[in-house]
């Protein structure tokens, strides 16, 4: 059994999918988000979407960093995580404007004071204001903030995003076909709209990331930060403290331009807490200028590099044979945990969190647009006809089949 499973979590969410298998799949079953008719407006040419997601257990990392250093600003990153995990899912259906967001925050008041709530709520509005500068319009409708100490030990930060969108501007993944290439957009580095280095961690796999990298003493000092019913052998088994310094070398001209030097200086805590990168600014431009060239969009969130398998419009073989080298954070997690590559690529994005399926002739221009935002992009793989759905990852001489 994997360490991930031993900690009571599942990368593939098998039980969740089983529980929901009888629900209506919506108008476009292969789309990244469920799409419904326009119940709000009654227009056959429009659709409605509502999506819920959140920062997951990443909020516990913010709690540990805040308790250890007194730096409450890390909670603004958690606000961004809860928003980006919703927004980037909806972006993969083609939606980038006129969005509504409502937050749901459950806290243990004994451990989480009002200062933290203010950071999260005000940090949410700051993020929306930034996105408005890129013509990504989101209205903040408030939400529910509840004191539920009997339910949560620290805090859970989630949200719901709603949209009404024209049907002819949707990305449904139904156009994905054999011969398509897959363009991966890097999850790490520093985009033009980011203020610091992003490790690429996103908001998936953070239970493993936390326990695999951080030192055993965190469990003793902060028992409220984990499930005390877990086997001690899987609880905080790593070598690091949150404040351990880390140097990130610039490995490309793009890195040197964004860092302004030979790289970035940070610490383990900030690697683990890098806010989930939103691809909203670049996808807005692509969806506005290159809509017809995009056959499909996948957000490599829960399920990592295997996520694409769930949204294919038929039996295809997906071959990813030109993947990014895993960013430092994933190498640190793997070194600390001893997890094999199969598990790592199934839990984490491992270097790119957005996949664009397109005709080969469109690839060069799409990559050029992505590069304008200081985000590395490349053709990471392709689509082949097949008798059944299959995924092959090729990395560093190893071939992994899912």
Q: Write the DSSP string, 227-240.
A: -TTS-GGGSS--SB
Our count of domains for the chain comes to 1
pLDDT score of 7: 63
Q: Please determine, for residue 4, whether its predicted confidence score (pLDDT) is greater than 60.
A: no
Mean pLDDT on 121-132: 98
What contacts 159, CB < 8 A, 6 or more positions away? 52, 53, 54, 82, 83, 86, 101, 102, 103, 104, 143
Q: Is residue 239 part of a domain?
A: no
Q: How confident is the model at residue 23 (pLDDT cuts 50, 70, 90)?
A: confident
Q: Is residue 225 part of a domain?
A: no
Of all residues in the chain, what percent carry a pLDDT higher than 90? 90
By the 8 A CB rule, do 237 and 336 touch?
yes
Burial of 120-135, coded b for 16+ CB within 10 Å and e otherwise, reads bbebbeebbebbeebe
Over residues 332-346, the pLDDT tens digits come to 999 999 999 999 999
Which single residue is written with the structure tokens 């935002």? 373
Q: Which of 381, 272, 299, 235 is nearest to 85 (CA)?
A: 299
Q: Which of 327, 330, 326, 345 is nearest to 391 (CA)?
A: 345
Q: Is residue 245 part of a domain?
A: no
Over residues 383-394, the pLDDT tens digits come to 999 999 999 999
Half-sphere exposure of 378 (CA within 13 A, CB side): 13
Estimate the share of the chain in helix, then strand, then coil, as percent rounded to the nearest 5.
35, 25, 40
Q: Please determine, for residue 151, whether its predicted confidence score (pLDDT) is greater than 80.
A: yes
Over residues 5-20, the pLDDT tens digits come to 676 665 555 676 577 7
Instruction: State both tokens at 104.
Output: 């749901």
Euclidean distance between the first and the last CA atom of the chain, given in angstroms as a whole number: 17
* H and E: helices and strands count for the chain: 13, 14
pLDDT score of 2: 63
Domain that holds residue 396: 3-191+273-401
Which single residue is written with the structure tokens 């200028």? 289
Instruction: State both tokens at 80.
Output: 């961004």
Q: Is residue 103 part of a domain?
A: yes
β-pair type (390-395, 316-320): parallel
Q: Is residue 42 part of a domain?
A: yes
Q: Is residue 310 part of a domain?
A: yes
Q: What is the CATH number of the domain that holds 333?
A: 3.30.1330.10
Q: Is residue 394 part of a domain?
A: yes
Q: Is residue 202 part of a domain?
A: no
By the 8 A CB rule, do 325 and 200 touch?
no
């Amino acid at each position: 059994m994997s360490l991930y499973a031993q900690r009571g979590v599942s990368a593939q969410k098998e039980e969740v999918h089983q529980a929901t298998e009888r629900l209506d799949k919506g108008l476009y079953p292969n789309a990244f988000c469920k799409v419904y008719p326009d119940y709000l407006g009654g227009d056959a040419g429009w659709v409605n979407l509502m999506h819920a997601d959140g920062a997951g257990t990443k909020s516990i990392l913010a709690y540990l960093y805040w308790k250890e250093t007194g730096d409450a600003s890390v909670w603004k990153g958690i606000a961004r995580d809860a928003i980006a995990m919703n927004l980037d899912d909806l972006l993969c259906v083609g939606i980038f404007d006129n969005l509504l967001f409502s937050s749901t925050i459950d806290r243990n008041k004994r451990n989480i004071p009002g200062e933290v709530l203010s950071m999260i709520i005000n940090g949410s509005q700051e993020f929306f204001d930034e996105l408005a500068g890129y013509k990504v319009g989101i209205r903040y409708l408030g939400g529910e903030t509840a004191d539920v100490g009997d339910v949560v030990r620290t805090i859970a930060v989630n949200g719901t995003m709603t949209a009404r969108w024209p049907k002819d501007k949707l990305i449904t993944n139904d156009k994905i076909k054999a011969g398509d290439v897959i363009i991966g957009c890097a999850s790490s580095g520093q985009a033009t709209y980011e203020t610091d280095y992003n490790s690429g961690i996103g908001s998936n796999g953070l239970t493993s990331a936390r326990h695999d990298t951080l030192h055993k003493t965190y469990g003793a000092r902060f028992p409220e930060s984990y499930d005390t019913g877990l086997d001690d052998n899987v609880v905080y088994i790593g070598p690091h403290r949150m404040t351990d310094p880390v140097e990130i070398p610039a490995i490309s001209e793009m890195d040197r331009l964004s860092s302004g030097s030979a790289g970035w200086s940070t610490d383990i805590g900030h690697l683990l807490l890098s806010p989930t990168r939103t691809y909203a600014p670049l996808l807005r431009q692509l969806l506005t200028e290159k809509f017809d060239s995009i056959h499909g969009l996948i957000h490599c969130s829960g399920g990592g590099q295997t996520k694409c398998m769930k949204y294919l419009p038929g039996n295809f073989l997906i071959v990813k044979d030109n993947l990014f080298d895993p960013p430092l954070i994933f190498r640190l997690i793997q070194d600390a945990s001893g997890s094999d590559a199969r598990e790592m690529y199934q839990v984490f994005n491992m270097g790119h969190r957005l996949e664009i399926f397109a005709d080969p002739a469109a690839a060069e221009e799409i990559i050029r647009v992505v590069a304008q935002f200081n985000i590395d992009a490349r053709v990471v793989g392709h689509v082949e006809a097949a008798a059944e759905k299959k995924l092959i990852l090729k990395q560093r001489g190893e071939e992994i089949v899912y």
